[in-house]
Structure 1
Amino acid sequence: MLRTALRNVFAHKARLLMTMLAVLLGVAFVSGTLVFTSTISEAFHKSSQKGFAHVDVSVRQDNSDAPEGRGSVSPISQRTLERAGDLPGAKSATGVVSGFAALSDKDGKLVGDGFSTNGANYYAGDNGQGTDPRYPMKSGKAPRAPGQVALDAKTAERTGYKVGDTVRMSIDGPVREEKVTGVFTTDAGNVAAGGTLVLFDNASAQKLFAKPGEYTEIALAAQQGVSQTALKQQVEKILPAHAEAVTGKKLADDESKTIESSMSGMKTSLLAFAGIALFVGIFIIANTFTMLVAQRTKELALLRAVGASRRQVTRSVLIEALAVGTVAGLAGMAAGIGIGAALRTLVGKMGTMPSGPLVIEPSTVVTSLVVGVVVTVLAAWLPARRAAKIPPVAAMGSVHAPATTRSLVVRNTIGALFAGAGAALVLLATSMDDGKAPMGLGAGLLLIGVFVLTPLLSRPLIAAAAPVLRMFNVSGKLARQNAVRNPRRTAATASALMIGLTLITGLTVIANGVQKGIDKMASDSLKADYTISMANYTPLSPDVDKKLSSMDEVTATSPLRNTPAEIDGDTEYLTGVNGATIGKLASLDFRQGGWAGLSGGKKVVVDTETAKSKGWKLGSTFEVAYDDGKKGTFSVGGLYKGNQMMKGILADNASVTPHMAKVADMQILAKTKDGAGAKVKEALNKQLGNNPAVLVQDKKDVSEGVSQMISLMLNMLYGLLAMAVIVAVLGVINTLAMSVFERGQEIGMLRAIGLDRRGIKRMVRLESLVISLFGGVLGIGLGVFFGWAAGELIAGAGLDTYTLVLPWGRLGLFLALAALVGVLASLWPARRAARLNMLAAIKTE
């Protein structure tokens, strides 16, 4: 039986090729993902180890036991740094302070990756004349005075800045001009990931990112012969309150774990799409083996007649699947290694990862082979089982009938139950507060149910295309009959395409609804013409509001400031606004009261959810304890429905600002005389020094920013789902090719009675087109339903302005792509059918 199985594999090489390709693509995606993520994780792990090579023990703030939202309770002082340096096991102690620093390139654009554009201190010792071992100078010298900076070598290379150049940058809003005195090398992780690092002298860095004489961290190097653990024990004796000592090894390990954790989301997403491609491939494999078994019915019956048991027949088919899966798994693994290498090169050229070797772990090899073999064998199991059940006499007499009425009734009943339960769960989930899990389960059940019901659905839906197919005369009529002749085969072929289009359509509907909802929320909530914020949404300097307010074009501004405060034993955030002007800049959905009285400093407006949780009503009074220890009393002057742009407790800045340790604005709302326009925006940017770190946005800019982000996300998802669509195309080609082979005698007879080659080609193409459009219609219909249901969840989660938008243009494009898939997939099978020798085909049994 083993020899028989292997002989059949080699006898049907061409027919199994498409199946092998389907498995190969899915396995390549899996192994490529594993290779790529392992390579990146290893590269960043090595980079982390290098980055902490000069740190044996770190003293840093530990705010784990501080009240929630209270920030740093005990900064690390110069005195602690001096005491750490005097420890017997310490070779050196370096004070560290860092924060956000936006650097502009020569064209005025922000350099780096926004959140990875950092600034730090060059610690030159107590006397300021030493060297910082963390940052060896490649050229020039270290910054020693205000107005001087040093740039990392990668940033200097990509921007073209050299020693002696003047750079424009920003820390919290106002533009600063600094002279480049040096270029240094570093193994810092954010620089390896494509960010920037700008060094200031120690005093300037403290002034910018902390306070004079304060640090965020102390890095200690141990004396020769002193272990990191021993030094840590010495450090723990001098630790101030709310500080902790951590070894350099733990720092490197923690950063490595953080990187692995951040990579896990991408890894999971990529593997999910690989799983979708493999799931689609299962239909192709099952289809292929079903057709192969059907074509070898007499052969298998003869084996049964000469003594082979059912188990042996099943085993012979599974051995074929095992051989196909093994070859496909090995080829897929090799292709995946190539994909991983290509992705590493691509990401490396973008400058977003450190250099390192390609990592191929043993688990990747094992996983690739197991996935290829298991998927193929599982998909072939049902056809193998069916083959073993064929009665030998019936099979040899060619009287083996297709599925019985009873089996079809059972199948349709199961499908209806699955589809009904799935649809009910999805509908129920839309009314739940957290319906993600039920909706996911319901979507899976509905998808399975529709797949099981696809043979039943194929007849009426394909029959609907009959009027169009009649236009193609005999070829059209034959194409329709061929498409419905074997509903199960048609269903399996169409289902592969259906799954891909379901996901693509659903994602598109959701994205369009979110875009529309955000547009509506911005237009409903804001009267302001412009919002001003930092590029990475860190706090702005109060000087920005002063500069805007001094402009003739600006009629009203309101900075938004956040500060923590204790209310009824809980830490809440108060949002400060300009009570006198906020009514001209924001439009809230007030259920009771309004802005009146806010500018007096005694009243606040509260969103309805917060008021409900606190038991407040209009006119309720409550006491707050500010972060500086002082207390105040407010009354509720208005209740409004919160949204993603404004929610919480809004108070006048006159009440909030005096209690802030460092006054900073999260955002500024501004209204101008002439409304939003290119000239006004240009004037605002000019007033702020054409600062690349500051975003001046009107409502259109906010919408376009969201739109670009959604479009980028959609394009990435389309690219990933394209793998499933490619596999589906292979399935259509495979099914048609084997169908042509199976119907060789019939095609020969059609040629003999007068149907020319062009008619044969047209028949096969129309059959392929009908099957593809059938899968496309099902996929788009399911995708729209899932998109609507997910939108209801999104609306319930806070974006209540979410609106269902059916992108008719894209839906039409998806249907056209389904038709194109059908046409392209039919080219080779149609050509093969047309070239069949009619006499040889008629003689074929």
Structure 2
Amino acid sequence: MFRTALRNVLAHKARLLMTVLAVMLGVAFVSGTLVFTNTISDAFQNSSAKGFDHVDVAVRPRAQEAKGDRVAQRPALSRKLLEQSAKVPGAASAIGVVEGFTALADKHGALVGDGFRTEGGNYWGDKDPRYPLTRGTAPHGPGQVALDAETARRAGYRVGDTVRISVDGPVLTPKVSGIFTTDDGNVAAGGSLTLFDTATAQRLFGKPGTYDEIDVEARPGVTQSALKARLDRALPHGLVETTTGRRLADDQAKAIADSMSGLRQGLLVFAGIALFVGTFIIANTFTMLVAQRTKELALLRAVGASRRQVTRSVLVEAFVVGAVAGVTGLGLGVGIGAGLRSLMGSLDVTVPDGPLVVTPGTVAAALAVGVLVTMLAAWLPGRRAAKIPPVAAMSSVHARATTKSLVLRNTVGALLAAAGVAVVLAATRMSGDSGQAPMGFGAVLLIIGVFVLTPLLSRPLIAAAAPVLRAFGVAGRLAPQNSVRNPRRTAATASALMIGLTLITGMTVMAGSLQTSIDKMAAAAIRADYIVSMANGNELSPDVAKKLAAADGVTAASPLRNAASRIGGRTEFLTGVDGATIGKLTDLPVRTGSFTVARDRVVVDEKTAKSYGWKAGSAFTVAYEDGRRQRLTVAGTYDGNELIRGIMIDNAVLTPHLSDPGDMQVMVKTSGGASPSAKDKLVKALGANPAIKVQDKKDLSQQIAQVFTLILNMVYGLLAMAVIVAVLGVINTLAMSVFERSQEIGMLRAIGLDRTGVKRMVRLESLVISLFGGVLGIGLGVFFGWAAGELVGARMPTYELVVPWARIAVFLLLAGTVGVLAALWPARRAARLNMLSAIKAE
């Protein structure tokens, strides 16, 4: 039986090629994902580990717990602590580390690197072991800086060039004194690092005489754990905490691995979709192969082969196909991993140097996925073939599915689909994240139910297209009949395309609806023409609000200043605003009372008010950052949203209690409204600062929607794999259908149907099957998009379902194009059949 199985594989090489390709693509996606993420993760981990070569123990301030009304504070590390650390027995040296956000502009005035990774720090003395100089000298004084080599290369800076930078104030124009190399992970990820001398860094970052961290290096022969124990005994207990360099490297490596796990899981989900779609093709292929060999299998049963041996022979064929697909898919996956890494480089995303990582786990996963998926998909056709009695197989009485089996299938499918719809609808009524898992479970049930029901659904839906197809003559009348002749095969083929289009349509509906909702939110809640903020999300200097208020054409401006406080034993953030102008800059629906912010009167969003049991007129006591207490009155409550919410208090009341006030953003209204000239005036008023963003409402909504757009584009790109697999499935089905109907096609040719008519018949059959899968996928996608929107709408009052009809029409056109392209080879093959040979075929 083993030799027979191998001979069958070799005898049907052309028929199994599409199956091998389908499995190979899925395996390639899985292995490529693992190779890519392992390579990037390993490169970043090795790079970050090098960054701790000169750190045996790091001393950091210990956050003080909040007690009573006191707000938690983080103590600073003084010069005295630095000197104590350096004098501990076993310490070779101690370096004081100062860090902060530093925006660096390129030669065109644009911000270099990602806004969240444009960092600044201090260069220790004349020779900092952390940052080896490759050119120039160490920075000295406020007029000099040193740049990392990668940033200097990207921005085109050399030693002696003047650069524009901003920390937390006006634009500075120091000169580049030196270029250094670094293993900093932020730089490796595409950010920038600008270094000042220590005194300048402390002054610019608002930390005069203090440090963010003290890095201690051990003398030869002293272990990191021994040095840590000595530092713990020597330094003030409770004020600082110590961590070994090895622990820091391990923690950073874990953080990098965790950050990569999200990307890996996302990519593997789409790889799973490709494999899931491929499973239908594999099952379809083996079902047809087994059906074509029923007499051969019956003869084996008649000469003594058992049912188990027949099933085993089919599984052996599947094992061979899966192993071949797994090996070739692994090789292709390694190429995909290398290609993705090169693509990141071409997109100007910096990745640390390192070898391509192909772990034993990746190899095992690729082979296991290829073999297991293929064998699981082939098991049911093999088992079904083994159960057919030899006499029945030889007389072909088994060919049609019994009424009982069809009724059972339709009943199971209807129950699964109904259960899926019920679970999804129930999930839409749940709040928050609690509905996500039930909705996902319901979606899976519904997709499986529709797949089981597709043979039943194929007849009425394909019959609906018959009147249109009659315009193509005899070929148009025969195509729908051929499509529903074997509804199970048609269903399996259409389902492959259905799954891909379900996900694409659902994501498109969600993204379009969210974009519209965000636009409505910005338009409804904000009257301001511009929102001014830091590029990295940090706080703005209070001077920015003053400059904007005094700028030409500005009619109203208000900073939004966040500050921690204690209310009823809970930490609550207050939002400081300009009470006189905030009403002109926002348009928030007032639930109770009035929107009045002045002296001891505040406004609170409805959700926060309910959590405390407040309403208009309620009074409460707040403890500020400095520990002082004040009695405040709720003037009114309003409907908050993702852009504006919380407790609003007048800055004139809040600011005196803050040690280091800073603004998250400044809202600005101009006399002529938003326009390029008004924006240009604001940018110039701020000194063309690269660290500061000036955005109108459209820019703001686009920034928020960028995340959804990025995810959607990834979905389109990744699900292209599933569509390719679906194309292979259609080709496979048509090719085998042509083989089965050779005699019929020969008879059609003999009675007058020309080659063009045969080609048209096969193409229309393919088109009908593809459009059938497309209609099902688009219908399910719109339903899932609506359901997910209902879940999101509970937290976003402005949410509105938007069905992108134009894109849906494109998706339907895509499904039709898939059908036309997939039919090219089978149609050509059918037209070239020799009619006499075909008529004699069994």
Q: TM-score, normalised by structure 1?
A: 0.98
SS at match of 2:637: strand
1:425 equivalent among 396, 405, 423: 423
Aligned twin of 1:782:
780
Deviations 1:276-300 (A, max 9, x none): 0000000000000000011111101
Aligned twin of 1:279:
276
Aligned twin of 2:403:
405
Aligned twin of 1:478:
478
- Say if 1:605 and 1:636, in contact at 8 Å, map to a contact too: yes
Aligned twin of 2:132:
136
2:170 and 2:19 map into 1 onto residues whose CA distance is 62
Q: Does 1:123 align with 2:124?
A: yes
1:314 and 1:721 map into 2 onto residues whose CA distance is 34
Q: After superposition, where does 1:220-619 map in structure 2 within 5 Å?
A: 220-240=216-236, 241-349=238-346, 350-433=348-431, 434-596=434-596, 598-599=597-598, 601-619=599-617
- Say if 1:348 and 1:355, in contact at 8 Å, map to a contact too: no
Equivalent AA in structure 1 for residue 78 of structure 2: S
1:181 and 1:99 map into 2 onto residues whose CA distance is 20
Q: TM-score, normalised by structure 2?
A: 0.98
- Say if 1:173 and 1:534, in contact at 8 Å, map to a contact too: no
Equivalent AA in structure 1 for residue 359 of structure 2: E
2:90 and 2:162 map into 1 onto residues whose CA distance is 42
Seq. identity, %: 67
Q: After superposition, where does 1:815-834 map in structure 2 within 5 Å?
A: 815-834=812-831
1:619 and 1:736 map into 2 onto residues whose CA distance is 74
SS at match of 1:531: strand
Aligned twin of 1:811:
808
- Say if 1:174 and 1:541, in contact at 8 Å, map to a contact too: no
Deviation of the 1:711 alpha carbon:
2.8
1:648 and 1:359 map into 2 onto residues whose CA distance is 48
Deviations 1:409-452 (A, max 9, x none): 11011001100010011011111112111101100100100000
Gapped regions of structure 2 (runs ≥ 5): none
Equivalent AA in structure 2 for residue 405 of structure 1: T
Deviation of the 1:470 alpha carbon:
0.6
Aligned twin of 1:127:
none
Deviations 1:310-334 (A, max 9, x none): 1111111110001000100011011
SS at match of 1:176: coil
Aligned twin of 2:213:
217
Aligned twin of 2:644:
646
Q: Does 1:100 align with 2:96?
A: no
1:210 and 1:161 map into 2 onto residues whose CA distance is 27
Aligned twin of 2:55:
55
Deviations 1:757-806 (A, max 9, x none): 0000000000000000000000000000000000011111x222111001
Equivalent AA in structure 2 for residue 625 of structure 1: A
Deviation of the 1:678 alpha carbon:
1.0
Deviations 1:650-679 (A, max 9, x none): 110111111112111000000111111111
Deviation of the 1:144 alpha carbon:
1.3
Aligned twin of 2:201:
205
2:247 and 2:183 map into 1 onto residues whose CA distance is 17
Deviations 1:692-717 (A, max 9, x none): 22111111222333444433321111
Deviation of the 1:27 alpha carbon:
0.3
Deviation of the 1:263 alpha carbon:
0.3
SS at match of 2:116: coil
- Say if 2:91 and 2:217, in contact at 8 Å, map to a contact too: yes
Distance change (3 Å), C-alpha of 1:616 and 1:707? closer
1:105 and 1:750 map into 2 onto residues whose CA distance is 72
- Say if 1:168 and 1:175, in contact at 8 Å, map to a contact too: yes
Deviation of the 1:71 alpha carbon:
5.9
Deviation of the 1:61 alpha carbon:
2.1
Deviates more, 1:548-557 or 1:390-399: 390-399
Deviation of the 1:242 alpha carbon:
3.3
- Say if 1:174 and 1:544, in contact at 8 Å, map to a contact too: no
Aligned twin of 1:181:
177
Equivalent AA in structure 2 for residue 544 of structure 1: V
2:155 equivalent among 151, 155, 159: 159
1:106 and 1:757 map into 2 onto residues whose CA distance is 66
Q: Does 1:624 align with 2:627?
A: no
Deviations 1:726-764 (A, max 9, x none): 100100000000110111111011001100000000000
Distance change (3 Å), C-alpha of 1:555 and 1:209? same
Equivalent AA in structure 1 for residue 563 of structure 2: T
- Say if 1:172 and 1:534, in contact at 8 Å, map to a contact too: no
Equivalent AA in structure 1 for residue 619 of structure 2: T
1:772 and 1:69 map into 2 onto residues whose CA distance is 66
Deviates more, 1:423-432 or 1:169-178: 169-178
Equivalent AA in structure 2 for residue 160 of structure 1: G
- Say if 1:27 and 1:372, in contact at 8 Å, map to a contact too: yes
2:352 and 2:498 map into 1 onto residues whose CA distance is 41
- Say if 2:493 and 2:730, in contact at 8 Å, map to a contact too: yes
1:809 and 1:564 map into 2 onto residues whose CA distance is 48
- Say if 1:26 and 1:277, in contact at 8 Å, map to a contact too: yes
SS at match of 1:695: strand
Deviations 1:29-83 (A, max 9, x none): 1011111111112111111221000111100123274579956421111110010
- Say if 1:559 and 1:578, in contact at 8 Å, map to a contact too: yes
Aligned twin of 2:3:
3
1:400 and 1:843 map into 2 onto residues whose CA distance is 23
Number of aligned pairs? 837
1:363 and 1:70 map into 2 onto residues whose CA distance is 48
Equivalent AA in structure 1 for residue 792 of structure 2: I
Equivalent AA in structure 2 for residue 738 of structure 1: M
SS at match of 1:425: helix
SS at match of 1:465: helix
SS at match of 2:459: helix
2:70 and 2:188 map into 1 onto residues whose CA distance is 31
1:8 and 1:401 map into 2 onto residues whose CA distance is 21
- Say if 2:103 and 2:119, in contact at 8 Å, map to a contact too: yes
Aligned twin of 2:142:
146
- Say if 2:618 and 2:633, in contact at 8 Å, map to a contact too: yes
- Say if 1:172 and 1:538, in contact at 8 Å, map to a contact too: no
SS at match of 2:322: helix
Equivalent AA in structure 2 for residue 120 of structure 1: G
- Say if 1:97 and 1:210, in contact at 8 Å, map to a contact too: no
Equivalent AA in structure 2 for residue 422 of structure 1: G
2:708 and 2:226 map into 1 onto residues whose CA distance is 52
Q: After superposition, where does 1:4-83 map in structure 2 within 5 Å?
A: 4-63=4-63, 65=65, 70=71, 72-83=73-84
1:330 and 1:579 map into 2 onto residues whose CA distance is 68
SS at match of 2:233: coil
Equivalent AA in structure 1 for residue 743 of structure 2: Q
Equivalent AA in structure 2 for residue 584 of structure 1: K
Aligned twin of 2:114:
113
- Say if 2:88 and 2:234, in contact at 8 Å, map to a contact too: no
- Say if 1:104 and 1:692, in contact at 8 Å, map to a contact too: yes
Q: After superposition, where does 1:641-720 map in structure 2 within 5 Å?
A: 641-720=639-718
2:745 and 2:805 map into 1 onto residues whose CA distance is 40
1:198 and 1:163 map into 2 onto residues whose CA distance is 13
Distance change (3 Å), C-alpha of 1:786 and 1:69? farther
1:779 and 1:711 map into 2 onto residues whose CA distance is 21
Distance change (3 Å), C-alpha of 1:173 and 1:282? farther
